[in-house]
Chains A and B, each alone.
Chain A
Amino acid sequence: MSNKVIYAIYNDDDILMDAVKKTRAAHHHIEEVFTPFPVHGLDKAMGLAPTRLAICSFIYGLCGLSFGTWMMNYIMIQDWPQDIGGKPSFSYIENMPAFVPIMFEETVFFAAHLMVITFYMRSRLWPFKEAENPDVRTTDDHFLMEVAVNNNEKELVSFFESTGAVEVKVIEKH
């Protein structure tokens, strides 16, 4: 079975947005859209599910807070409760104000870094990763919509030409 896709290329984000809406209305499945910069509202027009990255980040922050609390409690209160300049090391709560800067920074550190790493993993980004550009111009000034072809090549080509595409290509994908 051949894996043919259509590359519809646009040179304006407004035209792209209209084309995406028309394509969705015509019930053609959009595989992917490549743009040189974030197009405001594109995810909504494509009907993509909202990201859950913020929820991850919140949970990572809680982990960081717990880690900071545990670490300071173990080191300063449990393991070796020295009298350092008269600070009360009898219980965690008594010396807590001194630990708050650490607890805060751990929270932010965990929330930020683990969220970024999650983002890289989920979007499959890493050094030496092979770039997946279907057309180099999409990193500069062109917008590209990829749509799968299911034995309706002619119909699709004429459809995309009518949406204002500057170029419509049919490509065999492997």
Chain B
Amino acid sequence: MYTFSSKLKTFSLILMALGILGIGYGFISAPKNIQEVEAILASDSHNNHNEATVPAEEHHAVSETSHAETGEHKAEVNSEHEEHLNHVLHQLQNKPWSALYVACIFFMLISLGVLAFYAIQQVALAGWSPVLFRVMQGITAYLPVGSVIFFIVLILCGLHFNHIFVWLGEGVTKVGDPNYDAIIANKSGYLNFPFWILRAAIFLGGWNLYRYYSRKNCLAQDESIDDSFYKKNFNISAGFLVFFIVTESIMSWDWIMSIDPHWFSTLFGWYVFASFLVSGITTICLVTLYLKSKGVLEHVNTSHIHDLAKFMFGFSVFWTYLWFSQFMLIWYADIPEEVTYFVTRIQVYNLPFFGAVVMNFVFPILILVNTDFKRISWILVMAGTVILLGHYIDFFNMIMPGTVGDQWFIGVSEIASILFFLGLFIYVVFTALSKAPLLPKRNPYIEESKHFQY
């Protein structure tokens, strides 16, 4: 049995407290109206008060050359300037919300990635991993908690507390409304709040049901006299994987792709899947290394760690493959309605966009290609940290350009949201780990797993 050390508990509580303070600060300091936005833009341009209004003035100058200056034109310029300020206001108001949203979905999907990996291990009758099943179950214990918070955030989006999802905006589908958007209106059969939130409820519910029963059966198998619970787990795992791959794909359209509702990509679901699956495996590896260093995982040897590291390496390459396939196909064909997605990211998010590739591909491939390195704890901790940060940036790149645009910054709101969810994650996961023995007793493959050697 593992006992949640009081030090780690205090540490996670401090993270959560700091996170809440930072999140609160982010919401309080977001501008309330366009006057505040104007002040922020003016102070951004450092003593040069005119710079903020340059676009409007330029436009003004252009119209002056072709037309005589009339009051009508002045009014047009002013309304355009106001429109710009309104746009920036929405982006700045979105900033704390998006920061919360990215961190929330990131940590929830990590535990979902672990759940998918766990189900695959069950169905594949893997002989090496049963000693790690309880670790995986501990990590997936975050799923119910994360799902509830995430679901609340989705409902708040639907209740217009924020502008993360453009298509949830008022009047977007109403003909004649100033906000009317024909493209979104055409998609409203799919992108409408009741259907969207119902799908979310079904997906989150389905995943959590599998998690609940799988753990219950696994614990029951310990006390059982035959393998019936093991077989039950095999069956529900196979069923879950079918359900998962369908819902995962739809989930990625609903919660991530619909942030840019004018854009679509067919391999997006796989791309998101690769991102959180590799994060999930990395998390298993890091938690295993931590528990191993505490001496509570007696039967986990360097061969198990080596296998996890191989999966980290392989799925990092898989993520890159999908990242590049998506990027290169759109870059190559250069169709205007698709390519704007990457134009924004390359022009406005240059460093995070390409930095994510360096962190998620170049770094792991050079470090984890070496067999000996895959058995050295500190190298894996370092590589794992970079991979996790890299995939946070990946989610940041997917979500932020559609919500805050060029107003992005990794500041108090973003870091505080990460800290809050990291603290919560650690608290929930290690509490769950301390609730059951870390070695399944009657798993048919447990003996093989204990003596696993690569």
Residues of A that sit less than 8 Å from B by CB:
54, 58, 86, 97-98, 100
**A41 nearest in chain B by CB position:** B453
**CB interface residues, B 306-341, toward A, < 8 Å:** 324, 327-328, 331-332, 334
Task: Tell me, yes or no, whether B182 is within 8 Å of chain A by CB.
Answer: no
Contact of B371 with A54 in the complex, beta carbons under 8 Å: yes
Q: Measured between C-beta atoms, what is the minimum distance from A68 to chain B in Å?
A: 15
Given known pairs A54-B371, A58-B369, the reply for A97 and B327 (CB within 8 Å) is yes
**Binary A-proximity of B359-382 (CB < 8 A = 1, otherwise 0):** 000000000010100000000000
Q: Which residues of B contact A100 (CB under 8 A)?
A: 324, 328
Q: Which residues of B contact A86 (CB under 8 A)?
A: 334
Given known pairs A54-B371, A58-B369, the reply for A98 and B324 (CB within 8 Å) is no
Q: Which residues of A contact B328 (CB under 8 A)?
A: 97-98, 100
Q: Measured between C-beta atoms, what is the minimum distance from B124 to chain A in Å?
A: 22
12 intermolecular pairs with C-beta atoms under 8 Å apart? A54-B371, A58-B369, A86-B334, A97-B324, A97-B327, A97-B328, A97-B331, A97-B332, A98-B328, A98-B332, A100-B324, A100-B328
Number of interface residues of B (CB under 8 A): 8
Docked pose: A86 CA to B369 CA in angstroms: 38
Q: Which residues of B contact A58 (CB under 8 A)?
A: 369
Residues of B that sit less than 8 Å from A by CB:
324, 327-328, 331-332, 334, 369, 371
Q: Which residues of A contact B331 (CB under 8 A)?
A: 97
Q: Which residues of B contact A97 (CB under 8 A)?
A: 324, 327-328, 331-332
Q: Measured between C-beta atoms, what is the minimum distance from A94 to chain B in Å?
A: 11
**A40 nearest in chain B by CB position:** B453
Q: Measured between C-beta atoms, what is the minimum distance from A101 to chain B in Å?
A: 8
Instruction: Say whether chain B's binding surface is mostly helix, strand, loop, or mixed.
Output: helix
Q: Which residues of A contact B332 (CB under 8 A)?
A: 97-98
Most-contacted residue by chain B among A54, A58, A97, A100 (CB, 10 A): A97
Nearest 5 A-B pairs (CB), nearest first? A97-B328, A97-B331, A98-B332, A100-B324, A100-B328
Docked pose: A111 CA to B161 CA in angstroms: 55
Q: Which residues of A contact B334 (CB under 8 A)?
A: 86
Q: Measured between C-beta atoms, what is the minimum distance from B344 to chain A in Å?
A: 17
Q: Measured between C-beta atoms, what is the minimum distance from A69 to chain B in Å?
A: 15
Q: Measured between C-beta atoms, what is the minimum distance from A105 to chain B in Å?
A: 14
Q: Which residues of B contact A98 (CB under 8 A)?
A: 328, 332
Q: Which residues of A contact B371 (CB under 8 A)?
A: 54
Besides the known contacts A54-B371, A98-B328, 10 further A-B residue pairs in the complex with CB atoms under 8 A apart: A58-B369, A86-B334, A97-B324, A97-B327, A97-B328, A97-B331, A97-B332, A98-B332, A100-B324, A100-B328
Q: Measured between C-beta atoms, what is the minimum distance from A34 to chain B in Å?
A: 26
Q: Measured between C-beta atoms, what is the minimum distance from B348 to chain A in Å?
A: 19
Docked pose: A97 CA to B331 CA in angstroms: 8
Q: Which residues of B contact A54 (CB under 8 A)?
A: 371
Docked pose: A86 CA to B371 CA in angstroms: 44
Q: Measured between C-beta atoms, what is the minimum distance from A139 to chain B in Å?
A: 29
Q: Measured between C-beta atoms, what is the minimum distance from B373 to chain A in Å?
A: 13
Q: Measured between C-beta atoms, what is the minimum distance from A47 to chain B in Å?
A: 18
Q: Measured between C-beta atoms, what is the minimum distance from B421 to chain A in Å?
A: 34
Docked pose: A54 CA to B372 CA in angstroms: 12
**B324 nearest in chain A by CB position:** A100
Q: Measured between C-beta atoms, what is the minimum distance from B265 to chain A in Å?
A: 16
Q: Measured between C-beta atoms, what is the minimum distance from B321 to chain A in Å?
A: 10
Docked pose: A54 CA to B331 CA in angstroms: 35
Q: Which residues of A contact B324 (CB under 8 A)?
A: 97, 100
Docked pose: A165 CA to B334 CA in angstroms: 71
Docked pose: A74 CA to B428 CA in angstroms: 56
**A54 nearest in chain B by CB position:** B371
Docked pose: A58 CA to B370 CA in angstroms: 10
Docked pose: A98 CA to B328 CA in angstroms: 7
**B331 nearest in chain A by CB position:** A97
Q: Measured between C-beta atoms, what is the minimum distance from A152 to chain B in Å?
A: 36
Q: Which residues of A contact B327 (CB under 8 A)?
A: 97
Docked pose: A54 CA to B374 CA in angstroms: 15
Docked pose: A58 CA to B324 CA in angstroms: 22
Q: Measured between C-beta atoms, what is the minimum distance from A64 to chain B in Å?
A: 15
Docked pose: A100 CA to B371 CA in angstroms: 26
Docked pose: A66 CA to B332 CA in angstroms: 23
Q: Measured between C-beta atoms, what is the minimum distance from A109 to chain B in Å?
A: 18
Docked pose: A100 CA to B327 CA in angstroms: 12
Docked pose: A100 CA to B323 CA in angstroms: 13
**B321 nearest in chain A by CB position:** A104
Docked pose: A3 CA to B93 CA in angstroms: 88
Q: Which residues of A contact B369 (CB under 8 A)?
A: 58
**A101 nearest in chain B by CB position:** B328
Docked pose: A100 CA to B328 CA in angstroms: 9
Q: Measured between C-beta atoms, what is the minimum distance from A86 to chain B in Å?
A: 7
Most-contacted residue by chain A among B327, B328, B371 (CB, 10 A): B328
Docked pose: A58 CA to B373 CA in angstroms: 15
Q: Measured between C-beta atoms, what is the minimum distance from B188 to chain A in Å?
A: 35
